[in-house]
Amino acid sequence: MIHGKRTRLRQLLEVELPVLLIVVFALAPYVWMVLTSVKPSSAIATFPVQYLPADPTLEHYRALLARTSFLRNLLDSLVVAVGAVVLGLGVSVPAAYAFSRFRFAGRSGLLVFFLTINMVPVVMLIIPLFVLMRQLGLIDTFVGVVMGHATFAIPFSVWMMTSYFNALPAELDEAALVDGATRWQTIRHVVLPLAMPGIVTTGIYIFVNSWNEYLFAMMLSGQSIKTVTVALQSFIGEFTVQWGLLTAGGTLIAIPVTILFLVIQRRLVGGLTAGAVKS
């Protein structure tokens, strides 16, 4: 009995308490953002600080949606993020399958090159990408912003998908080919269903990166296209910050990603378990 209590106490101090502190540390900024978004303007800058709003209000949300173009900016971000997912998966999935199943000259070098691209600072890529998009006439267009977001996400996506394809036995492909299936039929009916957890995970990675991306969206967009991350910048002035609108906008930005994870979580975990069997 005493040994069991000591084990329980040790588990509490060494595992549960540190995990709880990490969770609190990670969630604290988001909780503070939500609480600030429902405080009256007069209570945001008061001293001493009011941690809990005494009189919660939705005035900042009403002002944000009624007096700004934030709804349109949300739609722009959604179109850009979904477009980046479609383009990113459309390129990374076939590329990763080729890297996983075929052996060709320069294969290892290309994989290392894809990994190296992620080590390059984004600011070094934005200028040549901006010049290229301007020459193609794609500045301030959905196509230009989507291509910019997908360009930075594709290299790491190829690495992620290659590891998933490597976990699938190549004998499955060979068995399907022996049974008379074409390479395309093998990919469509055998490989892709088993790799769906990896595809979903990679798609979420691309979506979240595109949804939260700021630098590419700022450089490649303008008046016609403006994502929410760029729109939030307008609430930060040289001398003042509109904290109510800023925190309300940040809360609305976090909602779609949160819902995405809640909806996809069970399918993702179940798919990972089902696709992890390797003979």
Helix (H, G, I), strand (E, B) or coil at 236: strand
Residue numbers of the chain with a pLDDT score lower than 70: 1-5, 238, 265-279
Our measurement of the distance from residue 51's CA atom to the centroid of its chain's CA atoms, rounded to an integer in Å, reads 30
pLDDT attached to residue 269: 57
Structural domain boundaries in the chain: 60-275
Environment class of 14 (CB within 10 Å of its CB; exposed 0-12, middle 13-18, buried 19+)? exposed
Which CATH number does 60-275 carry? 1.10.3720.10
The CA-atom distances, in angstroms, between 11 and each of 20, 79, 142, 271 are 13, 46, 51, 31
Phi-psi region of 5 (alpha: psi -120 to 50; beta: other; left: phi over 0): alpha
State yes or no: cis peptide before 197, omega within 30 of 0. Answer: no
pTM of the model: 0.81
Output the six-digit token pair for 113: 């090159």
The residues with which 236 forms a beta bridge, in sequence order, are 241
Neighbours of 150 (CB within 10 A): 25
Give me the pLDDT at residue 276, please: 44
Res 271: pLDDT: 46
pLDDT for 4: 63
C-beta separation of 56 from 241 below 8 A: no
pLDDT at 278: 44
Which pLDDT score is estimated for 275?
Answer: 43
Q: What is the pLDDT of residue 90?
A: 93
Residue 77: per-residue pLDDT: 92
CA distance 277 to 279: 7
